[in-house]
Structure 1
Amino acid sequence: MQIYLVGGAVRDSLLNIPVVDHDWVVVGATPAELL
């Protein structure tokens, strides 16, 4: 399973702005693993 931080959180991190919102993409997980 691979988990990636995406979206505005990545942008904010690159701009040295405090990250207050986390969006994740999970690749290679089964539905049971997500519970």
Structure 2
Amino acid sequence: MGFFDGYNVSTSGMSAQRTRINVVSANIANAKTTHTQ
């Protein structure tokens, strides 16, 4: 495992965590909305 491979793993993990936080934030923001269609 090279020096930059560690950065790639770290970056991938941070990206996944950012996506997870965005999904949770959207769910909290829309918790009291109703589905109308």
Assess same fold via TM > 0.5: no
Which is helix-richer, 1 or 2? Answer: 2
Q: Structure 2 length normalisation: TM-score?
A: 0.27
Higher relative contact order (CA 8 A, sep 6+): 1
